[in-house]
Amino acid sequence: MIIGVLGPKGTYSEKAAEQWIEKNGREGEDILEYCADIQDVFSLLEDKKCEIGVVPLENSIEGSVGITLDRLLENDVNIIGETIVTIEHCLLSRGKKEEIKVILSHPQGLGQCRQFLKNHFPAAELRTTGSTSHAAKLATEFEEMAAIASPETAEMYNLNIVMPNIQDRKHNHTRFVIITRSNIPESVQKYIKKDKQGSSYKTSIIVYLDRDRPGALYAILGEFAKTNINLTRIESRPSKKVLGDYVFYIDFEGNINDTIIKDAISNIESNVGMLKILGSYPEFDSYCESN
């Protein structure tokens, strides 16, 4: 299969894809297609130039990745998996610390090291790139440039680790989702087991509430509470229609094939302006051990 990830080589998104490939025992069977940015991963999938995409969804320091949330709403996608990657940002450069005047990274990388940048490089020019490894690649050009990226990219692009572990908090994790088209390609279907038990599954939905119905969010959460469905995440994002109007991204434990989940969703559907089911997928549960 072809898997779309953020490129060039060395991104955390590539690492996420490799984790997922390994977990599914597919080493050597898939080809990674490197994209310039997150939007391009979604486009590649939509244009049927890949079967699977791997995109970052949320980070433990900087929060949601807005563009991913927007594309999950607007594009024709289905989430079939998740994986969590430990992030260890380093400052990479050909030059020395004193020489660095320009620092490049993905906006999330810059955000996760905001305090570090303010303390150590208050006058540096900050440039955003489509990915952390793209930043590393560009930083090879001049000694006054540095990238915020993984230690692996240092070796890959022949850069020095000027400062290791520079994120603002010791623990830094990003949750990636594995996506495909809603009309799941056959090659992908072979690798999705529909677990009827559902206990280790998670489901993601997006709901848009009617603005003139106060208490609608409460009613939705009530559907989960009354049957003890465990919510793992709730996130709001502007509807982009008018300020103060939101869509909600809700993740919860359970599989859409479970009767209890089916019933809850059907009850919710009648209470909201729009409901989109993003998919049910095996929960990534080993990350807690790494903390």
**List 174, 203, 252, 284, catalytic entry:** 174
Choose between 190 and 241: whose C-beta lies nearer to a second copy. 241
Contact between residue 113 and residue 172 where contact means Cβ atoms under 8 Å apart: no
Q: Does 25 bind a second copy (CB under 8 A)?
A: no
Choose between 1 and 237: whose C-beta lies nearer to a second copy. 237
Choose between 28 and 122: whose C-beta lies nearer to a second copy. 122
| Residues between 235 and 274 that touch a second copy (CB under 8 A) | 235-238, 240-246
One symbol per residue from 137 to 176: x for binding a second copy (CB under 8 A), - otherwise; what is it? --------------------------------x-x-xxx-
Q: Does 110 bind a second copy (CB under 8 A)?
A: yes
Q: In the annotation, is 174 catalytic?
A: yes
| Residues between 45 and 104 that touch a second copy (CB under 8 A) | 58-64, 66-67, 84
Locate 155 and state its tokens. Answer: 């070796």
Q: Does 288 bind a second copy (CB under 8 A)?
A: yes
Tell the smallest beta-carbon distance from residue 36 to a second copy (Å): 8
Q: In the annotation, is 176 catalytic?
A: yes
| Residues between 201 and 230 that touch a second copy (CB under 8 A) | 214-215, 217-218, 221-222, 224-225, 228, 230
Q: Which residues bind a second copy (CB under 8 A)?
A: 37, 39, 58-64, 66-67, 84, 107, 110-111, 114, 118, 125-129, 169, 171, 173-175, 214-215, 217-218, 221-222, 224-225, 228, 230-238, 240-246, 287-288, 291
Q: Which residues are designated catalytic? A: 174, 176
